Amino acid sequence: MSNKAYQVAIVGGGMVGATTACLLAEKGLSVALIDAGNPAEKWPENTYDLRVSALTMASINVFKSIGMWDDVRKLGQQVVQKMFVWDHFGSGELNIDSADAGEAQMGSVVENRITVLALWQKLQTLEHCDCFTNVQLNDFTVDDDGVDINLSNGSLIRAALLVGADGSNSKIRQLGGIDDYGWGYQQKALVATVRPEKSHQNTAWQRFLPEGPLALLPLRDGLISIVWTSNTATTEANIELPEEDFCNALSEAAEQQLGNFELVGARGAFPLKLQFSPEYSQQRMVLIGDAIHTIHPLAGQGANLGLKDAVTLADVIVQAHQKGRDIASQQVLRRYERQRKADNLLMMGIMDGFKRLFGADEQLIQFARSSGMGLVNSSTLVKNQICKYAMGL
Ligand SMILES: Cc1cc2nc3c(=O)[nH]c(=O)nc-3n(C[C@H](O)[C@H](O)[C@H](O)COP(=O)(O)OP(=O)(O)OC[C@H]3O[C@@H](n4cnc5c(N)ncnc54)[C@H](O)[C@@H]3O)c2cc1C
């Protein structure tokens, strides 16, 4: 690879970094997208990615604007029209139907590998973007006019702005000396794909259990993708259970709402943490997505938040570019930070609060929680508001 100069170098080609690259390159900015891996281009038939995301309508609209949503649809996605939430304690439940709010759908569930592939395919069509795979950022140095980025294959890239979209263990954040704060939940999310006995009815199901939520997300081909949060020891024990015992434990945890399950493929687990950085940028360097916020997956909002970061950052950069200003000035990067910080902190607070509220085992809190759900469920107005919120609109 030859040494080259770009306006923007983005390290991390996951959903958030690749979206940012599309948004900038289609506006004519020269972009280098660098990823340590190589997005899968094909996979055996009847296999499913364990990592899926419930994408809000707001995120889907971003993908439509980029012009790659049709590719996602062709590769496979599942529309979500309803949400059913219930509690292990009492009779509290919440039933939300997008049709009641006059909407065709709340969002879609898509395997991460499908979204990433569609984004990278789109990037191949954009003449202003060069993609570098199987190469890592080693370090970078900043001067008044730009950033020199050293890559693991010995190449050097120069850019006016370095964007860190390199996930929750962001090397760019560490090298830049940006602090991160947070805590581990001492919990792991067990993920698996299962075939339910009954139809998933295009519904996202979520049951709050004593150790954490069990989410059953509708997936293409009538399948279900589960995200089952429990204490670390419980998750590890569930992973080791023989297949039949695991499926029985799962149907019991889901109160037989979807009947029995059949496991499709392997099980996996992710440790859960809350992590955030109070500072989003430094001289000629800015962070987005999980590199600045990692939240509990209980409402499936991490990628959706990251995509909002991508849109806001691309907007402020493009505006500066069109006005002939320095795209990496502190003024531009601070504008992005100001616009995103409140929303990111609010969502992190809500998810952490939900986690604590639904994890509480004091009877009074359990009673209040169950009654609260019942009250919300009886108000169409409130439910329609929740529906709009779930759609990200
Ligand atoms: C169990 C679970 C369920 C979830 N469900 C949902 C959901 O339903 N909806 C939702 O919105 N969110 C969900 N999330 C959160 C979501 O997965 C993340 O927020 C999202 O993937 C973050 O995207 P990202 O692009 O910021 O980072 P990542 O997806 O982590 O991408 C980072 C990229 O950077 C690359 N990289 C890292 N270091 C380097 C380096 N030094 N050099 C070059 N490249 C590098 C990596 O190869 C990777 O491709 C879930 C998370 C979990 C754990």
Give DSSP secondary structure letters for 40-100. -----TT---S-EEEEEHHHHHHHHHHT-HHHHHHH--EEE-EEEEEESSTT-EEEEEGGG
Average pLDDT, integer, range 271-280 = 90
Alpha-carbon distance of 122 to 110, in angstroms, equals: 17
User: What are the C-alpha distances in Å from 288 to residues 171, 173, 297?
Assistant: 13, 10, 18
The protein residue with its alpha carbon nearest to ligand 1, atom 3, reads 297
Average pLDDT, integer, range 65-70 = 97
Cβ proximity of 134 and 37 under 8 Å: yes
Instruction: Share the mean pLDDT of the chain.
Output: 91
Average pLDDT, integer, range 28-56 = 95
Domains for the chain: give ranges and CATH numbers.
Answer: 4-63+113-181+273-353 (3.50.50.60), 79-109+185-272+361-390 (3.30.9.10)
Residue 360 has pLDDT above 60, yes or no: no
User: What are the C-alpha distances in Å from 39 to residues 115, 133, 291?
Assistant: 10, 8, 19
Phi and psi at 267, nearest 5°, equal -105, 150
The protein residue with its alpha carbon nearest to ligand 1, atom 38, reads 166
The protein residue with its alpha carbon nearest to ligand 1, atom 17, reads 303
Assess whether the C-beta atom of 101 lies below 6 angstroms from ligand 1.
Answer: no
The protein residue with its alpha carbon nearest to ligand 1, atom 53, reads 270
Q: What is the pTM of this model?
A: 0.93
Alpha-carbon distance of 125 to 320, in angstroms, equals: 24
Alpha-carbon distance of 341 to 292, in angstroms, equals: 10
pLDDT band with cut points at 50, 70 and 90 for residue 353: low
Output the CA 176–ligand 1 centroid distance in Å: 20
Assess whether the C-beta atom of 165 lies below 6 angstroms from ligand 1.
Answer: yes
pLDDT band with cut points at 50, 70 and 90 for residue 357: low
Residue whose C-alpha is closest to residue 238's, from 206, 274, 203, 214: 214
Assess whether the C-beta atom of 35 lies below 6 angstroms from ligand 1.
Answer: yes
**Hey, which of 49, 108, 166, 170 would you mutate to test ligand 1's pocket, going by the most ligand atoms within 8 Å of its Cβ?**
166
Assess whether the C-beta atom of 49 lies below 6 angstroms from ligand 1.
Answer: no
CA angle (143, 313, 349) in 5-degree steps: 110
Amino acid at site 336: Y
pLDDT band with cut points at 50, 70 and 90 for residue 373: low
Alpha-carbon distance of 190 to 188, in angstroms, equals: 6
Residue whose C-alpha is closest to residue 9's, from 182, 135, 178: 135
Output the CA 272–ligand 1 centroid distance in Å: 13
Assess whether the C-beta atom of 137 lies below 6 angstroms from ligand 1.
Answer: yes
Sign of CA dihedral 331, 30, 14, 115: positive
Residue whose C-alpha is closest to residue 161's, from 45, 29, 289, 291: 29
Q: Looking at residue 375, what is its pLDDT? A: 67
User: What are the C-alpha distances in Å from 355 to residues 111, 212, 223, 229, 352?
Assistant: 24, 7, 26, 10, 5
Cβ proximity of 94 and 372 under 8 Å: no
**Bridge partners for 95 per DSSP:** 84
CB atoms within 10 A of CB 47: 12
Q: Looking at residue 300, what is its pLDDT? A: 72
Assess whether the C-beta atom of 303 lies below 6 angstroms from ligand 1.
Answer: yes
Q: Looking at residue 356, what is its pLDDT? A: 61
Q: Which two tokens stand for residue 134?
A: 């199987």
Cβ proximity of 255 and 207 under 8 Å: yes
Provide the percentage of residues in the chain whose pLDDT is more than 90: 74
Amino acid at site 328: A
Alpha-carbon distance of 60 to 55, in angstroms, equals: 7
Sign of CA dihedral 300, 173, 37, 266: negative
Assess whether the C-beta atom of 189 lies below 6 angstroms from ligand 1.
Answer: yes
**Hey, which of 137, 226, 290 would you mutate to test ligand 1's pocket, going by the most ligand atoms within 8 Å of its Cβ?**
290
Output the CA 14–ligand 1 centroid distance in Å: 6
Q: Looking at residue 365, what is its pLDDT? A: 60
Residue 299 has pLDDT above 70, yes or no: no
Average pLDDT, integer, range 7-15 = 98
The bridge status of strand 4-11 relative to strand 31-34 is: parallel
CB atoms within 10 A of CB 51: 16
CA angle (122, 390, 256) in 5-degree steps: 105
Q: Looking at residue 101, what is its pLDDT? A: 83
Select, from the ranges 2-11, 184-193, 321-330, the one with the highest average predicted confidence (pLDDT).
321-330
Output the CA 75–ligand 1 centroid distance in Å: 20
Alpha-carbon distance of 384 to 378, in angstroms, equals: 11
Residue 226 has pLDDT above 80, yes or no: yes
Alpha-carbon distance of 215 to 96, in angstroms, equals: 15
Assess whether the C-beta atom of 18 lies below 6 angstroms from ligand 1.
Answer: no
Output the CA 363–ligand 1 centroid distance in Å: 37
Per residue in 283-292, pLDDT (tens digit) is 999 999 999 9
pLDDT band with cut points at 50, 70 and 90 for residue 1: very low
